[in-house]
Amino acid sequence: MTTSLNIDPIGRPAPFNGMMPEKVTGYVMLVGNGAVGKTSVAKVLALTNQGQKPNAKILDSISKTNNLEYEFITTRQQIGSTEYTVTLQFLVPPGQKQEDGDPTGRSFEAVIDIFRPTIHRLDVVLFTYDMTSMDSFHDLVYWIDSVGDLLNDTSHFILLGTHLDRENDLEITRGDIDEGLEYLASEMRSMLPSWKGNFARLEVSNLTGENLESLLYYLAGSVISAHQMRV
């Protein structure tokens, strides 16, 4: 153990010697059709990070998004020999499309127009679909175009399926997911020729919590990686 080398004479951990956790904040946006589970992902991740178990009551309490919603999580992650304190700041816009002309709530486009000056950088985008809805999966074509101008060269993305618990109703196959992932990556490259972000797929349940821990780990890793690419 060499930790004593990093302790100053009166025993406090010395700053700037690599032993203090490095603090990184990342901005994570969830996009996708209405009711695919965007708000649920952010909320359930935040609650499970505080030690709560996911359950139906939490999901029942979530209502339709008409504005930009915020949620945040602070988590510690060890990557190599460095310890990080990662704050994930979630941004959840509505899943209502402007083109649908629904007068009962504000659309994604309307809300993004309002908040655009406050959105400085997206580190990770979660392209979210409901695994029991082929429409929500196909509509990701729309969502990548809509979010395109908020992305930068180091934005990472995840193709995120929800409702994994509804095993008898799953409509999306592994083949569809692999194809979708390639499609999203090729769209990114054509929108941003210098794009060098990472991308991955993940399927979760907001009801049982399945794979949410992997999602959290992957998000923190992505935020650190985007941070390292910028410096």
Whether 13 and 19 have beta carbons less than 8 Å apart is answered as yes
Query: How many angstroms separate the most distant Cα atoms in the chain?
Result: 67
65 sits near Mg ion (criterion: CB under 5 A):
yes
Backbone phi, then psi, for 168, in 5-degree steps? -85, -10
| Window 19-38: residues binding Mg ion (CB under 5 A) | 38
Least distance between ligand GDP and beta carbon 167 (Å): 10
> Is 166 one of the binding residues for ligand GDP (CB under 6 A)?
yes
Counting residues that bind Mg ion (by CB under 5 A) gives: 3
Nearest to 84 by CA among 24, 26, 25: 24
Q: Using CB under 6 A, which of 38, 45, 154, 209 touches ligand GDP?
A: 38
Q: Is 39 in the site for Mg ion (CB under 5 A)?
A: yes
- For residue 77, the surrounding DSSP H or E stretch is strand 69-79
**Burial (Cβ within 10 Å: 0-12, 13-18, ≥19) of residue 129:** buried
162 near ligand GDP (CB under 6 A): yes
Among 133, 155, 205, 225, binds ligand GDP (CB under 6 A): 205
Q: Which of 195, 192, 29 is nearest to 112 (CA)?
A: 29
Q: Please, what is the minimum distance in Å from the beta carbon of residue 153 to ligand GDP?
A: 27
Can you give the binding site for Mg ion, defined by CB under 5 A?
Answer: 38-39, 65
Can you give the binding site for ligand GDP, defined by CB under 6 A?
Answer: 34-40, 59, 62, 65, 95, 162-163, 165-166, 205-207
